[in-house]
Amino acid sequence: MVVFPRFLRGKTKDDQKKVLERAVKDASKETDAEERAKADKYVRIMRSILEKGEDFVQEEKERVQRLLKGDQMSPDKRGEMAATLNVLKSFERLADPREGAEVDAKEEAEGKDEL
């Protein structure tokens, strides 16, 4: 999802809400079911960050990792949880200032504008 790095760089909750609105619109336009599910996962995580704070990503990542260690889950659910973990790791990685700076430089080089 293209807008999620901008969400993390939002300086205020209002900035993040604007990016979230854009992400919701983009997700609703997705026609491929698999891509739509992925976009919806990003949107859910962004909403949770707004509601619960930036610690949500680390806490949720730890929770999902604990669940994945168990053997009480169907293979489909395990795949879904692994996908959630990957998205959480993406948020975590881009929250790292070094990684975020690389994304900023890449977007600037490609001429992408802010929302």
Higher pLDDT, 53 or 113: 53
Question: Contact at 8 Å (CB) between 20 and 50?
Answer: yes
Amino acid at 52: K
CATH of domain 4-99: 1.20.1150.12
pLDDT at 32: 93
Average confidence (pLDDT) over 56-73: 93
pLDDT band at 72 (very low <50, low <70, confident <90, very high): confident
Sign of CA dihedral 94, 21, 59, 68: negative
Average confidence (pLDDT) over 45-70: 94
| CB-CB neighbours of 84 under 10 Å | 19
pLDDT band at 1 (very low <50, low <70, confident <90, very high): low
Residue spans of the domains in the chain: they are 4-99
